[in-house]
Chains A and B, each alone.
Chain A
């Protein structure tokens, strides 16, 4: 089996599952309980906080644990919008966001917020000047994805952050779900106020995530209750999951040190291999693109058909983002880039992890080439 759908989710590391099992079975106390068992659980939880904060280069009290990317994005966007709505009701995002961001903005629009969606160029990238031009006196939030999950375009986060430094009243949220462990961001240097990560995208478990909220920033909470996570995210903490996530992040960043060059090389091999096949069109940008995501389409073959054709050979890839692929809708990112609908319907996404090998890349290229040939025979 060759798993190339790592942007949808990754395989949890064995060591991560071991930590989860150990904590879930031995330290099952509620961190809020006063007794010893509660104390142990609380200690593990605070250790998970400080480890993740340290790995991300931020302060411990700036990390709020969540259930994942979707919750992190919702909490950041709605939390800021609700808390600061009296100051202004204009919010800005891009046309190439993950659904959890896009639909949060849609929901806020229905509640009376004014949203500007920044368009992208043919590579799926926003221009920071467009962001600046969209700013109004009543703008309170700008939310931009770091690495687009469908084609891999890297957005100019640093530039946008720098220009927003002149607007201290505007909060800057970044969806870093695809970037973490691949292209780390320095949150402070990039002027980021809120930043979302998700555990299962770096070999942690589903249902785990974290939101960075810069010291001193107030947000409304979405979940009301016992005031866990310093009043910002109520609900009994998922201690085992968070310990597992802390370990997954450490291991992923270690792997990055060793294998980043290899990852880029593998993606490069796949890219040049695919380019040599007739009728293949690469949608991921040539430069400033993620080291682990490649989006392409094949003339005349619908993506769903092709995903299943590769699956027969034991290779797992996806059509668009996992969240939208079931709905069979063409990639919104590709459409925003100006790719015609018929072509967008043929898009295939390959996404790597540090565990993929060069050999797998070669098998993939071979398999794509064979499948194309075979499908063409049937379809002609």
Chain B
């Protein structure tokens, strides 16, 4: 392939003021991580653009990886040429003949941020358009709806030729906005909530509650697999697995059946909040969507949320299930989430949970038992694993 660069355009970062360098630095790290399988490629960042120098790596494959990186508005595989009109013409023609198939139309989009360049934008369009028309027989211009839009950008250091503007994942660079804990059940919603939070720059750590033997090793593996998909975005992701059996048994004994669900959620939230404090997070993310199930009514949320004053981020609160599923399919978690294993929310589900629990009542029921020692034990026995993309594959690598 003849491309030697990939031009990366920042999205929202470019509106940042004094923090701009911090954002760019985070993005640079994300970009480096995304293309680590291409050792020859290097990254150069500037105030309003980032460049990947391919050094012989495949531009199409690298672009494919970059498409998923948050903080990138758009990207274009490009050729860097000296700002010499003859050399630029040769390069433009070479790139063009590479892309051109008979019957296709084109236009030139010139752009000049280096105002000292001898040609104006209009001159560029005419000069290069004319050059192509002269050298490619049968070629036609279509400025409205061209098949090939050859972009020529003149910058201070050089000119860049590209023919494609690939949409990036937008958002903010992962980790540029601090850390939050994601409550990860294994269902469809929570991975999507995590993904959307990452898109807004958060670093996310997963918290999963396991109740063996009521929940199986496979349910745990399912959550690890989901985490692995999310880790694709950030390069790695921490997952905390909380042993929850004892607490759940106790709840069944201590609390009337129609309030067990409310208490369970309250305790989960308390434990998550404890883990958040330990690991330096500033918020908790859930996949809750208003009215979806008994625990997600406004009354339930009110009764559950009372245990903490930590901000709870609910990216899906006003999103319909079908829309959530669409995103889940896009980020490849839907299929895993649909696997039918019991998790600790489904095993102990009461036959008729309160959809409108009263805060005073749940406080009253919980007051008969001191859950604190159990919470402390669960937190201290929490297993923490660092999930890296492709990890599950590695174990049996020699088999494949």
Contact = CB atoms under 8 A, between A and B. Distances in A.
Q: Is the interface of A mostly helix, strand, loop or mixed?
A: helix
Contacts of B335: 60-61
Given A39-B221, A61-B335, A44 B399 contact: yes
A337 to B, nearest CB: 33
Interface of A: 19, 22-23, 34-36, 39, 42-44, 47-48, 51, 60-61, 243, 246-247, 250
A43 B335 CA distance: 14
B221 A19 contact: no
Contact of A47 (B216, B217, B393, B398): B393
Q: Which 6 pairs between the two chains have the least Cβ-Cβ distance?
A: A39-B218, A19-B399, A36-B217, A247-B400, A243-B399, A246-B400
B396 interface: yes
Given A39-B216, A61-B335, A47 B221 contact: no
14 contacts: A19-B398, A34-B216, A34-B218, A35-B216, A36-B216, A36-B218, A39-B216, A42-B218, A44-B396, A44-B399, A47-B393, A47-B400, A48-B400, A243-B399
A250 B400 contact: yes
Interface of B: 216-218, 221, 335, 392-393, 396, 398-400
Given A34-B216, A61-B335, A43 B399 contact: no
Contacts of B218: 34, 36, 39, 42
Contact of A39 (B217, B393, B396, B399): B217
A44 B335 CA distance: 16
Given A47-B396, A250-B400, 12 more contacts: A19-B400, A23-B399, A35-B216, A36-B216, A39-B218, A44-B396, A47-B392, A48-B400, A51-B400, A60-B335, A243-B400, A246-B400
A243 B398 CA distance: 11
Nearest to B339: A42
Contacts of A247: 399-400
Contacts of A23: 399
Contacts of A44: 396, 399
A327 B221 CA distance: 52
Contacts of A35: 216
Nearest to A34: B216
A254 to B, nearest CB: 12
A36 B393 CA distance: 17
Contacts of A19: 398-400
B219 to A, nearest CB: 10
Contacts of B221: 39, 43
A1 B261 CA distance: 71
B157 to A, nearest CB: 36
Contacts of A22: 399
A25 to B, nearest CB: 12
Contacts of B216: 34-36, 39
Nearest to B342: A34
A22 B396 CA distance: 11
Contacts of A34: 216, 218
A172 B77 CA distance: 35
Nearest to A23: B399
Contact of B392 (A43, A51, A250): A43
